[in-house]
Structure 1
């Protein structure tokens, strides 16, 4: 499909700079029924049914943005994919300042050797720390890798360290937040439990590639960055049992949805999964594992807007985004969200 089909105009003032407070007070455009309804996130338990299964991403964002030098030249890097023990692929700015075999130095005790350079400003860095020591150094010297449309002078501030982390965050590895999870609070989770909605988490370590623009003219020419994910046998079995009993699988965010679809067979059965996925979902894709999706409002021409257009229907999502813009919904990572039902479910009723 032509990428231009997924373009739209978004006024700058519609981009959220900070999350709603409390988080579950964010607005939620409900397209889970045969219409469009303006709600707020804390109404979610009223919409879901006992026996539904809510699947969230428990990845934890690491402070993956580093400011350092190569000699006297200032360089900024954002880690986005772990390649091995202490080795990460990163986006460097300006990448031309880094050369293979030289050292990117944060300070006298934290540095990395440049192992390789790739297209698009990517470099491979081998740090002088690994494992828990590397995470500790990132926590000390790094900043939260906020997307470029959130305006901060030097990356995330102290508040962003908590704001840009979901309530589900447990497993270090993401360099971008699974932002639909930012809307949940302990009170909302308690109300979902009281409603009889089951909850489980899976892991997809979100990469910075999620913010990269689609630079090709046709979706068939776009290459997705791979991300590592894991679904246990226990959770796969519960997903299959839920659907067999008539319950719905509700994915919290496109990251959860992409991992679930990566693990699903053609017949819809979800299998245990522990691997990388580079699944790219565009209109025409037949969804196998997910019935509903809670997701934020995404960038024009992005792979995520293509995904939601595939999930809920292209015309339906165009109308929803027009409604959201006209009614002053807040967009992107810190913004409001939509609750979508798979188009095939809606079409089956009409």
Structure 2
């Protein structure tokens, strides 16, 4: 069974046991006597060397060097002899230090195991809290990008579970991605209207903008969207010109029927007793709906027949007293001509 002890008391006990007594070494020698003898003896070597004394000078230098080595060897021997107890104490002290450090390492390893388990428990609680907050704020799966690993620290865990500051941190991160989700949803909702307002005949779809839809910066998103719309507008204009050119060529290659109505000499009474309308010369032309894109919805092909929109402008002369009945008289004429669709009549007085 492991015995729990007070670390401070343990250290104090070791200090009481480790009682080191030291005595400084005293080195006695005839240093001053030898120094004086050496100084006096070397005076004879203080010479001025000339060409005749070079050989003797080299010999003297060799003798001095031998004396120097003798003194240095003696120094090393005595230092080694005096250092032996110091070296022995140093080795023993290092051994004691090693024992302490090994014990410290064992304790820290156990602390790490315990704290790692605490962090794992904290992370588990954080992930549960994250899932709860996702559901609480309705964050969709594709926006659930919050990470909480960095929040798994010991100070975020207490006896009852997660600390309040940890819960608040998770909630704030979830709210951030919720706001981002709402931003993306708003972009998608406004996409069609923005495209049509910009002049596109057919709005872009989410697939067209998917590669930049999720950028965080609104400025960057709008810049990329406007660039894409400009490209689509250019392509749309090119297609419009191509359609118009094709229609123009078709109209040139096909003869256009022209119906001319000759003016009548004078107003006559119709069989129903109503005054007949005098018509001035007029040309009626059939307009192919493919000739312009603006009226493309006014004409369509049905089987082998083709529907046309006919616009005619002509002048008539009638008695001013008949002006209130003029529109009804004209509509009567169209009805008698078996027109299935009654025209819209606009009368301008000259």
TM-score computed with the length of structure 1 as normaliser: 0.15
Report which of the two structures shows the higher radius of gyration computed on alpha carbons: 2
Q: Which has the higher helix share?
A: 2
Q: Which has the higher strand share?
A: 1
